[in-house]
Amino acid sequence: MAGSGAAARQLAAERGLFVHALSHGTTSTPTTIAVPPALSLPVIEAAFPRQLHPYWPRLQETTRAWLLEKRLMPADKVEEYADGLCYTDLMAGYYIGAPDQVLQAIADYSAWFFVWDDRHDRDIVHGRPAAWQRLKERLHTALDSPGDHLGHEDPVVAGLADSVRRLYAFMPGRWNARFARHFHAVIEAYDREFRNRTEGVVPTVEEYLELRRLTFAHWIWTDLLEPSAGSELPDAVRKNPAYRKAALLSQEFAAWYNDLCSLPKEIAGHEVHNFGISLITHEGLTLEEAIIEVKRRVEECITEFLDAEQDALRFADGLDDGTVGGKETSAAVRACVGNMRNWFSSVYWFHHESGRYRVDSWDDRSTPPYVNNEAAGEK
């Protein structure tokens, strides 16, 4: 992570040059990033060429301004850390082909999600169950009526309202209702995680994997493929086994690779929610064995996705029945599947570029330097 605003801007400038190169067709990755052997996935580096949306430089600038405007991060934290956290890079590497306004709304929502995740963590660490319950209920309400909460006194509530209202504007009511339903489930999953962490309960492996699909918001990021492709997919298409399997594998990879990379951070923070921690606690694995096992499952996701991707693309081809509607649906599915593939490289490089996982550089390994405890009501 950059240690000062000037350093952060320098890193951003260097990444900007990289993005510029990518926009001209280059698929190389930054040579300055050394991936630790335990986290290295050569198949990603070789078979999943990285792309970034050409809007990325503007996206980064606008999301940084939005975080300030919505008071989601203090000005000094935005100046020193926002660019180095690479939140916009993650989304710009995923939703390729999205209209600029759609990508901007997704990136702001994603940045909000990280801020909300940090708030949830601080409420647990500092023993504030009442504050968390209050926030949880407000988020449920704001999700259903975002227009009524744009000026809410809590920046996290107002930020959700603003980003969701913008996302809803791109899609019809059925999609909005589905997105809301999926995110209501995510909020409740965060509540279960709050209780588990507060009570020191480590979920079993199967319990954890089921809960992780919600806390990582698998179906939210999959839903957002549709506005990026400019088309709401019919239920029969979304629920087709070929499409759904490819979507699930792309998200499982991301969640489990995140667990692999964040394991040191979460052990330092006395976490109980991590694939590796469940393996250590319930399967009797050592730390080293847990790292190997999580990495093995991550690599399995990649292998299985390569097969599922071909099935999903064949399914897309079959949707083109010669009608205008069939051709459009086929193209939309191909765009969504293409971005499922992009998720692999975007997630992979994000974890090695973002300051969010550089625990060894923090003064306190259990307290991220980009969070502001005082702003959350702590002294």
- Residue-wise pLDDT for 93-125, tens only, equals 999 999 999 999 999 999 999 999 999 999 998
What pLDDT, on the 0 to 100 scale, is given for residue 268?
76
Active site residue: 48, 113, 170, 183, which one? 113
- Of 77-91, 244-258, 305-319, give the lowest mean pLDDT range: 77-91
Which pLDDT score, from 0 to 100, does residue 374 have?
Answer: 55
Residues 144/202, Cβ–Cβ less than 8 Å: no
140-154 confidence digits (pLDDT tens): 999 999 999 999 999
From 50, 128, 213, 356, active-site residue: 356
Q: How far apart are CA 243 and CA 237, in angstroms?
A: 7
Domain 52-272+280-355 has CATH 1.10.600.10: yes
pLDDT band for position 22 (50/70/90)? very low
The one catalytic residue among 183, 216, 275, 305? 216
Pick from 347, 376, 251, 311: which is nearest to 41 by CA?
Answer: 347
356 is catalytic: yes
Residue 350 catalytic?
A: no
Give residue 365's pLDDT.
65
Positive/negative CA dihedral, 122, 257, 23, 163: negative
pTM for the full model? 0.89
Per-chain mean pLDDT for the chain: 88
The per-residue pLDDT for range 169-209, each reduced to its tens digit, is 999 999 999 999 999 999 999 999 999 999 999 999 999 99
Is pLDDT larger for residue 15 or for residue 279?
279
Contacts (Cβ under 8 Å, ≥6 apart) of 151:
158
pLDDT at 373: 64
The verdict on whether 114 is a catalytic residue reads yes
From the candidates 18, 48, 114, 305, give the one annotated as an active-site residue: 114
pLDDT of residue 368: 79
Is 134 a residue of the active site?
no
Q: Which pLDDT band holds residue 273 (cuts at 50, 70, 90)?
A: very high
Please give the pLDDT value at position 25: 32
Residues present in the chain in total = 379
For residues 40 and 279, what is the distance between their CA atoms, to the nearest angstrom? 21
